């Protein structure tokens, strides 16, 4: 599940890290913009299991569990997550910021900021201030 998912909004970063990018995007597509209850354990017939599959649901529940209880979480809107993913893919494949913005539906300034962040991530000499 390893990888840099910093382009994802909100809690989707954590979900992608523990359950995979596909699970995060499926969850965003199904429940984006909604506050949902994630239980401490999802049953086979729970909406989370139906959305992302049993293994991913178990990983999400394990990660978000607090003192053996579930919790309420706001799931970011899917369009934003999938657009950012498309933006990163376009930039990583060599597209200019303008081309990547047009292909993903993101703002051109977002493409420039994302490209700069990707370059810093690849350059080990660049430290992180925060």
Which of 43, 9, 25 has its CA nearest to residue 82? Answer: 25
State the pLDDT at residue 29. Answer: 87
Are residues 53 and 93 located together in one domain of the fold?
Answer: no
Cα separation, 57 vs 62, whole angstroms: 8
Residues 90 and 37 in one domain: no
- The answer as to whether 7 is a domain residue is no
Domain count, the chain: 2
118 in any annotated domain: yes
In what helix (H) or strand (E) does residue 46 lie, and over which residues does it extend? none
Same-domain pairing of 89 and 52: no
Q: With 60 as the cut, is the pLDDT of residue 128 above it? A: no
Q: Are 104 and 92 in contact (CB under 8 A)?
A: no
Residues 64 and 106 grouped into a single domain: no
The verdict on 60 and 89 lying in the same domain is no
Task: Answer yes or no: do 24 and 63 share one domain.
Answer: yes
Residues 28 and 65 in one domain: yes
Q: Does residue 127 lie in a domain region?
A: no
The β-bridge partners of 36 are 73
Q: What is the pLDDT of residue 124?
A: 61
- Same domain (yes/no): 56, 86: no
Could you list the residue range(s) of the whole structural domain that residue 93 is in?
79-122
In a domain, residue 128? The reply is: no
Question: Tell me: the pLDDT tens digits for 10-42?
Answer: 899 899 999 998 999 899 989 988 999 999 999
Asked if the model's pLDDT at residue 53 lies above 80, the reply is: yes
């Amino acid at each position: 599940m390893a990888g840099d998912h910093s382009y994802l909004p909100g809690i989707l970063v954590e979900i992608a890290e523990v359950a995979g990018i596909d699970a995060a995007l499926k969850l965003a597509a199904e429940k984006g913009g909604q506050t949902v209850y994630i239980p401490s354990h999802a049953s086979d017939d729970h909406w989370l299991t139906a959305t992302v599959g049993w293994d991913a649901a178990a990983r999400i529940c394990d990660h978000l569990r607090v003192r053996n209880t579930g919790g309420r979480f706001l799931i970011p809107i899917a369009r934003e997550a999938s657009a950012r993913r498309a933006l990163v893919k376009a930039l990583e494949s060599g597209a200019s910021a303008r081309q990547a913005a047009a292909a993903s539906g993101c703002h051109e300034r977002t493409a420039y900021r994302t490209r700069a962040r990707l370059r810093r991530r690849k350059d080990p000499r660049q430290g992180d201030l925060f």
